[in-house]
Structure 1
Amino acid sequence: MKAIITTFVATIALSAMAASTAASGPLKDRVAAGQSIRIGYSNEVPTAYSAADGKPTGFVNDITLAVLKKMGYEKIEPVQTEWGGLIPGLNAGRFDIITGGMFILAARCENVKFSEPIYKMGDAFLVPKGNPKGLVNYEHIHDTGATMVTGSGYANIAHAKAAGVDATKIMEVPGPTEILAAMQAGRADVGAGTPILVKQLADSSGGKLEATNSAAMPKDSFNWGGLAFTKADQDFVDEFNAALKDYVGSQEMMTAVAKYGYDKDWLPGEAKTEWICANR
């Protein structure tokens, strides 16, 4: 009788463990259990954001959904959060993939597993119309003592500090809406972000702000963006990369993302994530 009870208890324990794994384990366990793939992103137009009907949109989300569909996965659940909460949220199990258009950086590679890159771009500035202080690169911010505003966790922070910009001159805010508000209120002299983000903010400023040309930025500020997964999901990342390889740069993809301004200049080229993690 004791042996039977012990076996029964062990069976219950294993069943509970299996249920727990299906609920919060690696991504392939979730999909095998029939659960949705949860994609996490912040409200970044046109990279990744929610449409009026709540559906995920933006060029990174569109690329992600297209590749997942080719892999046979169409049960998707969007989770929108602030930029600074993306990596913590991923590792806490609140979603399975970060689709927020995240640059592949060495510090991030220590905490997450990136896909192969899906785009490449540099930095750009949001400045008052006419750019009265002539701010086109981070050295200019340092030399003039200007105040820069950017999103918390954005790569622009490290790029500015590398150019000697003092941390007290860097205003960190939750995201694009707050960057625009700071610039419109005159609390910052320059806003920093990706060219697509900066252009979108400039276009929404009623002509009061403009975007600088990213070509004036140092070459080492150019970076590659990818999707982030937990390190436990290496098997899924390998499967995703295999499907991604045939999709990135294809006519199907270029047609789908053209409406967001994505063109051949944004294609990632030959750089691989392993190299990017070691050099950025």
Structure 2
Amino acid sequence: MCNLKKILLAAGIAISVTTSALAGPLFDRIKAGESIRLGFAAEPPFAYPGDKNQPLGFANAIAIQALKEMGHDNIEPVVTDWGGMIPGLNAGRLDIVTGGMYILKERCANVDFSAPIGRFGDGLIVPKGNPKGLKNYADIKAGGAVMVTGAGYNTISAAKSEGIAEGNIMQVPGPTEILAAVRAGRADAGVLPFLEAHRLATHESDTIEATDPTAMPDWTFNWIGLGFRKDDDDFRQAFDAALAKVIGTPEMLAAVEKFEYVRENLPGDTKTDWVCANR
């Protein structure tokens, strides 16, 4: 199983370590000339680092457009593991987290989420031909199959809610390890956001395929938001006002098209408060 940090380093992607002193609310940091530390993991196409550590992916693209609408362009990308984003945010090492993070009730207790930036569902990757006929959680449970997903992913609680035993849920750092577990036969199916499942299946079409995401339960469809510290609610409100001017515009859709985000992924009129209460 590959180590995410080793993969990033081998690809020439530096793992950023901020040296800025821990500061107060984000507006105070900005007034003091500090950068806005944008935290994300290697989770394409949601958010990931480029060859020179530049923030790529549609979540980063939308965040940067909204920040520019606010007049902010002093942005420092900070790459971390998926599981380190919320702890890093609340410890004051990060100012905003992107990463394609679903707005979920348990996360809303610890994160001040922006307005939704998109609506998405999860999917499965399975060996070519789908020999066990797995299309959703019910199939995994009925077949006693082993699924693999990412540590900290919403799919862990979703699988348990659908009755899958904890012993049949393998947790690994991220997409690279999910793919490796399925290819090696250690897991019967990988469960992850459908955009990632589709990307992996496209690149590994000889051995892997993605199942139809509409076979997953309706309640598992989720909205993505950007995360802020609770004490930065004033900044988050200003950010949301800027985001409202950006989301769905031709310029925004053009910027995210290369990251597989399409008009059908727009969040609609759904509000963060409703998502926090219902997901």
Structure 1 and Structure 2 fold alike (TM over 0.5): yes
Task: Report the AA paired with residue 185 of structure 1.
Answer: A
Confirm whether residue 25 of structure 1 aligns to residue 24 of structure 2. yes
Confirm whether residue 48 of structure 1 aligns to residue 47 of structure 2. yes
Deviation at 1:204, TM superposition (A): 2.6
Q: What is the rounded CA distance, in whole Å, between the counterparts of 2:186 and 2:69 in structure 1?
A: 46
Quick check: which has more Rg, 1 or 2? 1
> Which residue number corresponds to residue 7 of structure 2?
none
Q: What is the rounded CA distance, in whole Å, between the counterparts of 2:22 and 2:31 in structure 1?
A: 11
> Which residue number corresponds to residue 132 of structure 1?
131
1:149-197, CA deviations, whole angstroms, 9 ceiling, x for partnerless residues? 0000101111111110000000011111111111111110000111111
Q: What is the rounded CA distance, in whole Å, between the counterparts of 1:237 and 1:119 in structure 2?
A: 17
Partner of 1:98, secondary structure, is strand
For the Cα contact (< 8 Å) 1:23–1:30, is it kept in 2? no
Moved >6 Å (runs of 4+): none
Confirm whether residue 106 of structure 1 aligns to residue 105 of structure 2. yes
Deviation at 1:265, TM superposition (A): 1.2
Partner of 2:148, secondary structure, is strand
Q: What is the rounded CA distance, in whole Å, between the counterparts of 1:203 and 1:264 in structure 2?
A: 21
For the Cα contact (< 8 Å) 2:78–2:94, is it kept in 1? yes
Structure ranking higher in helix proportion:
1
Equivalent positions of 1:87-236 (< 5 A) are: 87-236=86-235
Deviation at 1:142, TM superposition (A): 0.5
> Which residue number corresponds to residue 64 of structure 1?
63
Partner of 1:61, secondary structure, is helix
What TM-score do the two structures reach when normalised by structure 1? 0.91
Q: What is the rounded CA distance, in whole Å, between the counterparts of 1:46 and 1:153 in structure 2?
A: 18
Count of residue correspondences? 260
For the Cα contact (< 8 Å) 2:40–2:99, is it kept in 1? yes
For the Cα contact (< 8 Å) 2:22–2:93, is it kept in 1? no
Q: What is the rounded CA distance, in whole Å, between the counterparts of 1:204 and 1:258 in structure 2?
A: 18
For the Cα contact (< 8 Å) 2:22–2:92, is it kept in 1? no
The range that moved more, 202-211 or 180-189, is 202-211
What TM-score do the two structures reach when normalised by structure 2? 0.91
Task: Report the AA paired with residue 203 of structure 1.
Answer: T
Unaligned runs of 5+ in 2: 1-20
Task: Report the AA paired with residue 100 of structure 2.
Answer: G
Deviation at 1:203, TM superposition (A): 2.1
Equivalent positions of 1:1-40 (< 5 A) are: 23-40=22-39
For the Cα contact (< 8 Å) 1:27–1:96, is it kept in 2? yes
